[in-house]
Structure 1
């Protein structure tokens, strides 16, 4: 369980790499047709290493994992919850970054953000230079209604898959039924927001959900649960605040926090209203963990569970070690013994897998040693 498998290399995506699913093949063809050119991955890391490769398919996107957290939200409340999730995204990434290596290069702490953004980009370079929105989209403003997001989908993003339903939604609604809205749901599934609105039906009953797609997988189940507890707790508190934090923060600042969390991970500097700019770990320890505790308590989560999972977040901040940090420290230690990068990545990944199965939080793991 990791953001991007550290031992995956570009050559692993040559040949027959795609699973036998018609929708994946259609999406691959549609994205490349829209671009009119090969996909270009150009990512530089804080350490100075750079990845500069071309791909003739969406294969690099398939290297990215995602932990998706869902919240069932009343439609009229959706804007508050989405805005709150956008605010939380930066601290989420800083805490949970777990993808520092791509095709053998040490890049950003959560390189999966840039890999996914660039690999799924339907824009030719000239469109990107003209400011056309990318398909992988953080957003550009706070919203006042869930309709703002679906209207942006229609306005900014052409349909990729030419599938049409025979349903007449107005007729279904007039007859007392619940529309499937198949085209809306299909199109929404091809706009890759990091916090995405979802319209869905269960047993004929409609609902909307907030889908949080910010986090990578792993490193362990207990780390994953700690990340989820932190997110849901802070989200609940922020969404219920009478004076919401986004009323005191520019949307661009939330995106800057998101980018900083992806690039630097637990070493990121983040801005928060009333706190100024400072280390992500300090922001979490002093301000966000109490909010998470408050939010989980309000939802009736048992005290011992709150203490266990938020205690992991606290210890992670105090140690300064998350999944990305452990990976980088381990590889550098192995390279210091004379191992080359590929051998170091292989040894680190073996040690990572062993640590994953212990289900001990990653901040407690010893660094990888030569296998």
Structure 2
């Protein structure tokens, strides 16, 4: 039966909703059927939607771990062993004997078991991969046995791989966090050798330039002229400052056009996670973003997704969207400009109308520094809309 449009990943039989999900081709060897299907035990579309999304999210997590198991991840065999048996190898209760030290693979297990609860797949993947690189270069040793020479050798290997300075910084940051956390849990006082390692942090890093306002207007005019789903995506990003992946993974119902203040709800979905917790937000729809949202509602009639082209599988294909749209933009934009430049431009455009910085942060989903900003629910939609209209 065809999927039901009232609830994602479902169909209706005799009035009852059933969950249905195709098994990805690369994981078919783990299953005896090409589809997973079972009753959601409800006749309510709202209840079915909630249950289906939870089931889909659990499947996505399971499929990620199956893929990791099948892939050639550096140091993978040791890291997975540590996670599977971490509870036995490193007892953490006060009544149990505590190991004097642990190997790096075991440290990853401790880190993910305690700090990885409820964190996105990318959090787990970063810890496994970064520490897997260390294991490949320096071996899986007790965390107290690594020396400065090991950290320097690790740095040299990353540079040899031609990684950008920003990527090296992220990798070292993850390794430091794993070592520090495991040492703290075990009561070990060590000087982390992966701290204060010198390398050129700007090597290979290209500054992303904002788009000039006249270029934005030219691109927006071309969007109206071409008037297809790719250009709706460009227009939506251009006057909201959303990340491309955030926009590409939207549902039609995330575009709230019937509200007194039209807006987009940016929230996490099983097929598209958000970069940070502050990325979940609402942004008023004005100018070309409002036009794009209206076109989506008028023209997309056979899918729950705002941009079904990039949501045909279990994940939003933001890389494909980026490649296609950057290619289209390239002849008409300055060097070092891309789709992500709209996001830089939005911050400059809000600055130009003297928008307060914490409102800028809320609109863009940027983290605002300071303890006080963690209190309350933020500015109401009416205030955000006033500043967005000034920009438009």
**Normalization by structure 2: what TM-score?**
0.25
Pick the structure with more strand per residue: 1
Which structure has more relative contact order (CA 8 Å, sep 6+)? It is 1
Structure of higher CA gyration radius:
2
